[in-house]
Amino acid sequence: MTIEMNSPRDLEYFMEFKLKYPDVMKDFIRQQLSASTKDSISTLEYLRTLMTSEDMAALINCLNDQDRLKWKSTIGTDKAIIDPTRLMTYIKGEMMKAFIASKPLVDPELLELTLKLKVHDVIRFSEMYPDDAGELFNLLNPVFISKVLDKIEMNQAEKFLHAALESDHGIQKKSTLHVNLKKYLNISLKNGMATKLIKVLEAIEPQKEKMIYSQMLKVTSSDDLIDTASKNCPLEVLWLLPKTALNEVLQAFPLQKKARLFVSLDKELKTILVEASSSEGSSARQMIDMEIKQIEENPQELRRCQAQTALLTIEFLKFVRLHSQSNEQVLSDIRLACHVWFTQITQKSSGQIAA
């Protein structure tokens, strides 16, 4: 079967629909089997080819016995897809019909908008437009809602669910969800400056990192920044890393550079790195203590190191970034630390606004 260049995007559409509206997806499959037209059969052939065998089997297993027998007798003959682009237009239209049949009051364009939302989008949109959060949650599938709730704190989860219940059973008011979703997606998908700033972060000096990340988090999800931050570990994230990660990096960092870095730092940061580098009483600790002592007993060398604090720190930070790209565990620790740091930045920004 011929697969066109847009297959990944088509697959994403199918999978988003299947995740958020599984019951509607089953109805859609049944309707295509029942229709048995050229387009409906091509649709199922295309769907079978795009999805993994596991995803496809799970979907077929949700059908009744009669529909499964019809699937086996009809689908799987490798019919050529002549015009995949036209076929996807047909597929989206049929999916809309299946959705509207189950939720007749939902605008088809509103459904298209919800399909573009990822988990972090639902969270950010609900924070930006709390009056629309309840209506949005009522359009989402329980499985997808669970994924959203897993990403947020308990008090925020309670607030979202309360809004959803009020929207479902309370007094009906004029909906602004459609308009605000379009506004949100326009901000999220077309913010050219945000894209440029992500590139800037790859080469910016550490002292300006926090300022840029703080601004980015106002218009971009932290999930969108994690990859950039992980590959370019921010300076403040360095001090949030667990001892195991710091130890892994420090063991590979040259001894003399390590000693010069340690003596250049203030007492708190020096303690963090020294304790992470080796355990007290070990031969490794004795060696680093000797190097530090030699520098501290040389006033000129000590002043030189202390005057080069920024330079020595950046050198170590660059080493951490390079080393982490070949060490999955360290990279994973950096990602987790970035999540913590982003949360701290967001909470601080919210506190300043409230004040």
- Nearest Cα to 341, choosing from 197, 238, 248? 238
Same domain, 95 and 137: no
Same domain, 132 and 66: no
48: Cβ contacts below 8 Å, ≥ 6 apart: 56, 75, 76
Rounded-to-integer distance, Cα 182 and Cα 146, Å: 24
Note the pLDDT of residue 5. Answer: 38
Same domain, 72 and 44: yes
Considering the entire predicted model, what is its pTM?
0.49
Rounded-to-integer distance, Cα 226 and Cα 211, Å: 16
Q: Is residue 218 part of a domain?
A: no
Q: What phi and psi, each to the nearest 5 degrees, are found at residue 178?
A: -55, -50
- In this structure, how many other beta carbons lie within 10 angstroms of the beta carbon of residue 158? 12
Please state the length of the chain: 355
Which two structure tokens, joined as six digits, stand for 173? 């008011």
Same domain, 126 and 99: no
Same domain, 56 and 97: yes
Same domain, 185 and 284: no
What's the number of domains the chain is made of?
A: 3
Note the pLDDT of residue 350. Answer: 56
Q: Could you say which of 74, 104, 134 is where a domain stops? A: 104
Same domain, 176 and 76: no
Q: Could you say which of 189, 215, 249 is where a domain stops? A: 189
Residue type, 259: A
Same domain, 99 and 164: no
Note the pLDDT of residue 274. Answer: 93
Instruction: Count the helices and strands in the chain (H runs, E runs).
Output: 23, 0
Same domain, 254 and 334: yes
Rounded-to-integer distance, Cα 183 and Cα 170, Å: 26
Same domain, 177 and 249: no
Note the pLDDT of residue 149. Answer: 79
Region class of 34: left (phi > 0), else alpha (psi between -120 and 50), else beta: alpha
Q: Is residue 336 part of a domain?
A: yes
- Nearest Cα to 305, choosing from 259, 274, 254? 259
- CB of 333 closer than 8 Å to CB of 249: no
CA dist list (Å): 147 to 112, 121, 141, 332, 338: 20, 12, 10, 21, 20
- Nearest Cα to 207, choosing from 237, 174, 235? 235
Note the pLDDT of residue 144. Answer: 81
- CB of 112 closer than 8 Å to CB of 99: no
Q: Is residue 209 part of a domain?
A: no
Rounded-to-integer distance, Cα 99 and Cα 87, Å: 18
- CB of 34 closer than 8 Å to CB of 113: no
Same domain, 342 and 295: yes
Q: Domain range for residue 117?
A: 113-189
Q: Could you say which of 131, 163, 189 is where a domain stops? A: 189
Read off the DSSP letter of residue 207. Answer: G
Rounded-to-integer distance, Cα 104 and Cα 80, Å: 35
Residue type, 107: D
Rounded-to-integer distance, Cα 206 and Cα 84, Å: 48
Q: How confident is the prediction along the chain (355 residues), in pLDDT tens digits per residue?
A: 333 434 667 787 788 888 877 888 888 888 888 888 888 888 888 888 888 888 888 888 888 888 888 888 877 765 566 677 788 878 877 877 777 666 655 677 787 788 888 888 888 888 888 889 888 888 887 778 878 877 777 778 778 877 877 775 544 556 788 889 988 887 665 555 556 666 777 667 777 888 888 887 776 666 667 877 888 899 999 999 999 999 999 999 999 999 999 999 999 999 999 999 999 889 999 999 999 999 999 999 999 999 999 999 999 999 999 999 888 899 999 999 998 898 888 776 655 544 4
Helix, strand, coil % in the chain, rounded to nearest 5? 80, 0, 20
Q: Which residue has the tokens 């573009």?
A: 116
Which two structure tokens, joined as six digits, stand for 224? 């969108």
Note the pLDDT of residue 313. Answer: 93
Q: Is residue 202 part of a domain?
A: no
Read off the DSSP letter of residue 202. Answer: T
**Exposure class string for 323-332: b at 16+ Cβ within 10 A, else e:** bbeeeeebbe
Same domain, 246 and 147: no
Q: Is residue 214 part of a domain?
A: no
- CB of 194 closer than 8 Å to CB of 202: no
Q: Is residue 221 part of a domain?
A: no
Q: Is residue 215 part of a domain?
A: no
Q: Is residue 305 part of a domain?
A: yes
Q: State the Cα angle at 289 between 287 and 294, rounded to 5°.
A: 100
